[in-house]
Chains A and B, each alone.
Chain A
Amino acid sequence: MSQTEEPADGEAEPEESPARGVDYDAIEGLLGDAVVSRETHRNAEGFVVRADRVQDALSSLKEEAGFDHLSNVTAQEYADRFESIYHLKKYDDPTEEVSVVVPTPRDRPVSQSAEPVFRTADWHEREAYDLVGIEYDEHPDLRRILLPETWQGHPLGRDYNQDKPQIVTFEEHENPLADDHRDADTMLVNIGPHHPATHGVLHLKAVLDGETVADVESDIGYLHRCEEQMAQSGTYRHQIMPYPDRWDYGSAGILNEWAYARVAEDLNDIEVPEYAQVVRTMSAELCRIAAHLLALGTFCLDIYGDFTAIFMYAMRDREVVQNILEDLTGQRMMFNYLRLGGVVWDVPEPREEFFAQVREFLADLPNRIDEYHDLITENELFQLRTVDTGVLEPETAKEYGVTGPVARASGIDYDLRRDDPYGYYEHLDWDVITDDGKDNYSRLLVRMREVEQSARIIEQCVDLLEDWDEEEREIQANVPRTLNPEPDAEVYRAVEGAKGELGIYIRSDGTDTPARFKIRSPCFSNLQALPEMAEGEYVPDLIATLGSLDIILGEVDR
Chain B
Amino acid sequence: MSREKPRDDIIDTTAPQTKTREDRMSEVDSRFNSTLREAFGSTPFILTKFDSFMNWVRGSSMFMLQFGIACCSIEMMHTYAVKHDLDRFGSGVPRASPRQADVMIVPGTIVSKFAPRMKRVYDQMPEPKFVVNMGSCSTSGGPFQQGYNVVKGTEEVIPVDIHIPGCPPRPEALVYGIAKLQERVRNGETSPVTVKPYELEQFGDLETDELVEKLADDIDEESLVMRYNWADSP
A interface residues (Cβ-Cβ under 8 A, vs B)? 146-148, 150, 152, 155, 160, 162-171, 193-196, 199-201, 221-227, 229-230, 233, 242-243, 246, 249-251, 294, 307, 311-312, 315-316, 318-319, 322, 332-334, 370-371, 374, 553-554
Q: Which residue of A lies closest to B150 (CB)?
A: A225
Decide if B215 is an interface residue (CB 8 Å cutoff).
yes
Report the separation of the CA atoms of residues A347 and B188 in the bound assembly, to the nearest whole angstrom.
Answer: 49
Q: Does B43 contact A (CB under 8 A)?
A: no
- Most chain A CB within a 10 A radius of its CB, from B83, B120, B149: B149
Known: A226-B144, A226-B146. 5 other contacts (CB 8 A): A166-B227, A166-B229, A201-B68, A226-B147, A319-B83
State the main secondary structure of chain A at its contact with B. Answer: loop
Docked pose: A316 CA to B81 CA in angstroms: 8
Contact B148 A230 (CB under 8 A): no
Interface string of B115-131 (1 = CB under 8 A from A): 11110110000000000
Q: Is the CB of A249 within 8 A of B71?
A: yes
List 7 A-B pairs, minimum CB-CB distance, nearest first.
A226-B147, A315-B81, A163-B231, A249-B71, A170-B116, A170-B224, A225-B144
Give bound CA distance, A250 to B75, whole Å: 10
Tell me whether B113 and A224 are in contact (CB under 8 A): yes
Judge whether A333 and B71 touch: CB under 8 Å.
yes
B69 within 8 A of A: yes
Which B residues lie within 8 Å of A167 (CB)?
Answer: 203, 206, 211-212, 215, 219, 225-228
**In the complex with contacts A163-B231, A333-B168, A294-B117 CB distance below 8 A:** no
List residues of chain B with CB within 8 A of the CB of A227: 144
Q: Would B225 and A170 count as touching, CB distance under 8 A?
A: yes
* Distance A201 CA – B115 CA, assembled complex (angstroms): 11
B74 at the interface (CB under 8 A from A): yes
Choose among A163, A166, A201, A318 the residue that contacts B78 (Cβ–Cβ < 8 A). A318
- Does B154 make an interface contact (CB < 8 A)? no
Does A171 contact B231, Cβ atoms closer than 8 Å?
no
- With beta carbons under 8 angstroms apart, the residue of A146, A165, A230, A333 that contacts B211 is A165
A162 contacts B230, CB within 8 Å?
yes
Q: Which residues of A contact B68 (CB under 8 A)?
A: 196, 199-201
User: Using Cβ atoms and an 8 Å threshold, which residues of chain B touch A246?
Assistant: 70-71, 143
Is A311 a contact partner of B81 (Cβ separation < 8 A)? yes
For residue A371, which residue of chain B has the nearest CB?
A: B1
Tell whether, in the assembled complex, residue A162 and residue B231 are in contact, meaning their CB atoms are under 8 Å apart: yes
- Measured in the bound complex, the distance between the Cα atoms of B111 and A225 in whole Å is 7
Task: Identify B82's interface contact among A147, A168, A221, A312, CB under 8 A.
Answer: A312
Is A226 within 8 A of B112, CB to CB?
Answer: no
Partner of A230, one of B94, B98, B144: B144
